[in-house]
Amino acid sequence: MRLKTILNLALLSTMLWACGNEKSEAVQPEKAEKVADAFDYNVEQFGDVKVLRYQIPGWEKLTLKEQKLVYYLTQAGLSGRDIMWDQNYRYNLKIRNALENVYKNYEGDKTSNDWKAFDEYLKRVWFSNGIHHHYSNDKLKPAFSPEYLKTLLSETETTLEGDAFNVLFNDADAKKVNQAKGVDNVAMSAVNFYGPHVTNADVERFYKAKASPNPEKPLSYGLNSQLVKENGVLKERVYKSGGLYGQAIDEIIKWLELAKGVAENKAQGDALALLIEYYKTGDLQTWDDYNVAWTGATEGNIDYINSFIEVYNDPLGYRGSYESIIQINDFDMSQKMKVLSDNAQWFEDNSTLMEAHKKKNVVGVSYKVVSVAGEAGDASPSTPIGVNLPNANWIRAAVGSKSVSLGNITNAYNNAGGSERLKEFVNDQEELELEEKYGQLADKLHTALHEVIGHASGQLNPGVGETKETLKNYASTLEEGRADLVGLYYLYDSKIQELGLVDDWKSVGKAAYDGYIRNGLMTQLIRLNLGDDVEEAHMRNRQWVSAWVFEKGKPDNVIEKITRDGKTYFNINDYDKLHDLFGQLLRETQRIKSEGDFTACEALVEGYGVKVDQAIHAEVLERNKQFSSAPYSGFVNPVLVAEKNDQGEITKINVTQPETFEGQMLNYSKNYSFLPEVN
């Protein structure tokens, strides 16, 4: 599970994206300018996206062997890049290849509005790993005509026809992931996890018939396969060597074998061996064995995430999207934050959860601040800022989990922009000063508490199935909101000052609460078109958490809705009571998860997290028009260049930065395209 930043951190304070949720803070302009003198974090901006760069601090301190490990793992990650494109939509590779061929070979007028629209559309497709928006899941709409594209195709001798051409301009496959209530979510989602004519009922029936060898250690059925119908019979196409995506997986295996050869220690090497075996066989028991081994491999400077992991892109939460993140430990920051994992049991014991839902023995929670050295698949260009894995509840309970905060990514966000949007939406000078002084620290702590304590907390009642089975399409947003609530509850607690993490716990907590409510009730709406419902799991969780406490606090005016000069603000009048409300909601969300209470979960999410106050939405969009900075950010990756001697042995690895976004995307297509257009 992950925490991902979607809006510019510098824009808004409080962005949690789930293990993919996060918070962000306004950067001090003078700080941004000083850092920018030494390193230019900004690459370019187009559409609703800003592309940034990040550095790899500490690279020169690694040994050559460690650098080789990072290099091999990065190459393994990039080798699976096209898997993510195909998972996102069945025509993505065909469309990308055609658009890139036009881009490279068109020699006509490149000053026209049509060409500029084509250029922007291709960049948006690159950023989203396909033709659906990386966050909203809506299909991207070209600002050029079908006739213009046909002209470009003809003049560059490029073929794109039939449904793959028409879908760019028609209403088919409008949503990559459709989480709406009352529809067949699988049938209405364009994501390529399911074949034509597969329905919600098919998926539920197919997996209900599967029984794990050990019911107390349920296998992650569906995680690494596509479910299709052949002659009316449901069948899984497994991602493995010799199976679906086998050509790319063989390349991944090649690089993982090299990585295993330079592993830092036996535990790390053993885990890599199991990951290789999993890729070769597709066996889900091996996947669990790997996750147990990987979770226990905590020593060393280097770590990684690689495989089919997060299930946010599956409307029913079974199938994992391909991703890769290569990490270098930040020992100084990791040591400072280790206090959270060391005190995980205290947080569990003192939470508002019902006693039956508390873990009696929180085990194996490790937390590190890391520097990213490379990302691919679902983690790039739009990246998490925090990750907690593995996702299997039984492994978390029996073995533990690893939580990481991507320090250099957060640093890049914080140094890439200003704070003017923040000033527009804060209620008063006090709120602004709290945010500017404590906001970044509050964000970092919320990320840590969300990942380390939040996702590790609580337990299911005996006999209750996995949340993807009990809570279905609401499982992801419920889990992310639950982890958010753990963080929110403890951010306003003297314990974090007692542990030496802050100097003024009340001020940090107030900044965190201000930012979360401001974002959940207003500022995140800049990502939606007027009239749209909230559909993305993390946006939903931020809204249902904020809207619930706002409503429940009305009798005591805990959060006040203020209108001044035609503008709306939300002001927290009683932080102590808001803290109690977060605790009450945390208790209820854990009860829902522990008992598998679908009815209550549906009522919570649909009642508070889906519908948008249209008047406030229109106002927020109007107020936001004055700002030119794009609402979403992502990254190009540093390029690792290996120097070799006459014997072909690597003698040095240099870190270089790509000059342009399109340059990196075209380079990736040239060097890491291992799949056919149709899989």
Report pLDDT digits (tens) over 158-174.
999 999 999 999 999 99
Confidence of residue 363 (pLDDT cuts 50, 70, 90): confident
Q: Which of 300, 363, 289, 288 is nearest to 327 (CA)?
A: 300
Find the mean pLDDT for residues 198-216. Answer: 95
What is the rounded CA–CA span in Å between residue 135 and residue 526? 12
Would you say residue 527 has pLDDT above 90? no
Find the mean pLDDT for residues 199-203. Answer: 97
The pLDDT > 90 percentage for the chain reads 84
Confidence of residue 5 (pLDDT cuts 50, 70, 90): very low
pLDDT at 230: 95
pLDDT at 464: 94
Q: Which of 9-13, 75-79, 117-121, 275-279 has the lowest mean pLDDT?
A: 9-13
pLDDT at 28: 30
User: Facing residues of 367 across strands?
Assistant: 403
Q: Which of 28-42, 79-93, 151-165, 621-635 has the lowest mean pLDDT?
A: 28-42
Find the mean pLDDT for residues 601-617. Answer: 97
Residues in the chain: 679
pLDDT at 3: 61
Q: Which of 12-16, 452-456, 668-672 has the lowest mean pLDDT?
A: 12-16
Tokens of 171: 């209403």
pLDDT at 71: 98
Confidence of residue 420 (pLDDT cuts 50, 70, 90): confident
Contacts for 374 with CB less than 8 Å, ≥ 6 apart: 70, 73, 74, 77, 78, 324, 325, 326, 637, 638, 640
Find the mean pLDDT for residues 260-264. Answer: 98
pLDDT digits (tens, 9 = 90+) for 505-514: 999 999 999 9
pLDDT at 33: 33
pLDDT at 418: 61
SS3 55: coil
β pairing state of 322-329 and 365-377: antiparallel
Confidence of residue 32 (pLDDT cuts 50, 70, 90): very low
SS3 142: coil
Would you say residue 443 has pLDDT above 50? yes
pLDDT at 4: 53
Would you say residue 26 has pLDDT above 50? no
Q: Which of 225, 227, 256, 230 is nearest to 243 (CA)?
A: 225
Confidence of residue 447 (pLDDT cuts 50, 70, 90): confident
Find the mean pLDDT for residues 107-117. Answer: 97
Q: Which of 36-45, 612-621, 645-654 has the lowest mean pLDDT?
A: 36-45
Element (DSSP H or E) covering residue 403: strand 401-406
Would you say residue 433 has pLDDT above 50? yes
Find the mean pLDDT for residues 143-147. Answer: 98
Confidence of residue 34 (pLDDT cuts 50, 70, 90): very low
The more confident residue out of 306 and 37 is 306
The more confident residue out of 336 and 667 is 667
Would you say residue 8 has pLDDT above 50? no
pLDDT at 2: 64
Average pLDDT, rounded, for the chain? 92
Would you say residue 267 has pLDDT above 60? yes
Find the mean pLDDT for residues 80-87. Answer: 98
Would you say residue 515 has pLDDT above 50? yes
pLDDT at 366: 85
User: Facing residues of 371 across strands?
Assistant: 328
* Burial of 614: CB neighbours in 10 Å, binned 0-12, 13-18, 19+: exposed
Buried b (16+ CB within 10 A) or exposed e, 541-579: bbbbbbbbbbebbeeeebbeeeeeeeebbbbbeebebbb
The more confident residue out of 4 and 344 is 344
